[in-house]
């Protein structure tokens, strides 16, 4: 199995070193692990999200830290290559419209394996935060949330900066508690244009097992969105646990595998130096099977 969404201690909400995650991945029989430290550059949320940790100290995301992060991942890549684990280096970039040049300036000087793009905020409010999200939801209907969210996500797709789109229905994390089941149908007619744009751009879609750990009963995306992705022509999937603790590496990805097969997908992709390589699903080694 492969895990292409991993947050170590460089992420402000991550715990554990690069080596601890690599050891956990090796113990679970994973063949690939890709670190995707949060990189949030929205100037309106600089004091909330625009931070990382370096040697235990919280610093601004625009400070010099990427050299340390990349160097640590590269050291792990060399250390574990002979043991059957490929360790890769990426970022999860928080997208908001208008910061494309800031993102490009931040990532272009470096050689990453994988850039994961995700939308976490609407109108400057973090919809993934249980503390902040109600401030957004109380002024919007479920449909209005989805209209704003997928409009923003379509811009993330069209900007050409990313290899993959993360947790495409992440608004459900806090939104289901606020709105109830009515939120589950609010995406119809809105997600399809995004999926079609992804297919045209040959962008990968992530299946993210974080929704399972959050008790939502399904990963991100839900099975109906995954089936819509298949119908829209999306053929490139990545698997990610979105883990923030070493013990959660690879967690729930066996369920993601079953859901992907149920939706008609027969292969996933892994990235190295931002080049995709397809792996037939039947070749994946799933821990515990």
Residue 9: per-residue pLDDT: 97
Question: Encoding tokens for residue 100?
Answer: 């494309």
pLDDT in tens, 234-280: 999 999 999 999 999 999 999 999 999 999 999 999 999 999 999 99
Task: Quick: pLDDT tens for 113-159.
Answer: 999 999 999 999 999 999 999 999 999 999 999 999 999 999 999 99
CA distances 158 to 5, 104, 124, 195, 247, Å, are: 22, 14, 21, 11, 35
Q: Residue 46 above 90 pLDDT?
A: no
Domain ranges of the chain: 2-283
pLDDT of residue 282: 85
Tokens of 14: 């991550």
What would the pLDDT profile of 91-125 be if each residue is shown by its tens digit?
Answer: 999 999 999 999 999 999 999 999 999 999 999 99
pLDDT(49) > 90: no
> How much is the average pLDDT of 13-38?
97
Fold topology of 2-283: TIM Barrel (3.20.20)
Mean pLDDT of 207-220: 94
pTM of the model: 0.95
């Amino acid at each position: 199995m492969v895990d292409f969404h991993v947050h170590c201690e460089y992420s402000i909400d991550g715990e554990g070193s690069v080596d601890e995650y690599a050891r956990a991945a090796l113990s679970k029989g994973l063949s690939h692990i890709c670190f995707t430290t949060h990189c949030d550059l929205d100037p309106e949320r600089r004091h909330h999200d625009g931070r990382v940790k370096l040697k235990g100290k919280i610093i601004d995301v625009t400070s010099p830290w990427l050299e340390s992060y990349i160097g640590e991942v590269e050291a792990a890549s060399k250390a574990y290559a002979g043991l059957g684990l490929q360790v890769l280096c990426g970022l999860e970039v928080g997208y908001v419209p208008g910061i494309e040049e800031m993102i490009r300036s931040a990532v272009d000087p470096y050689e990453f394996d994988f850039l994961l793009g995700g939308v976490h905020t609407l109108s400057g409010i973090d919809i993934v935060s249980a503390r902040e999200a109600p401030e957004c939801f109380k002024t919007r209907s479920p449909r209005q949330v989805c209209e704003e969210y997928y409009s923003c996500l379509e811009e993330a797709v069209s900007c050409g900066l990313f290899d993959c789109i993360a947790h495409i229905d992440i608004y459900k994390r806090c939104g289901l508690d606020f709105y109830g089941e009515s939120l589950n149908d609010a995406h119809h007619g809105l997600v399809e244009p995004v999926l079609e744009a992804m297919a045209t751009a040959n962008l990968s879609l992530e299946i993210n097992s974080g929704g399972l750990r959050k008790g939502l009963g399904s990963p991100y995306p839900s099975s109906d969105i995954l089936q819509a992705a298949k119908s829209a022509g999306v053929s490139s999937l990545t698997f990610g646990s979105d883990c923030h603790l070493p013990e959660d590496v690879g967690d729930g990805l066996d369920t993601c595998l079953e859901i992907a097969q149920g939706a008609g997908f027969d292969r996933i992709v892994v990235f190295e130096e931002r080049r995709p390589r397809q792996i037939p699903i039947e070749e994946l080694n799933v821990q515990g099977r």
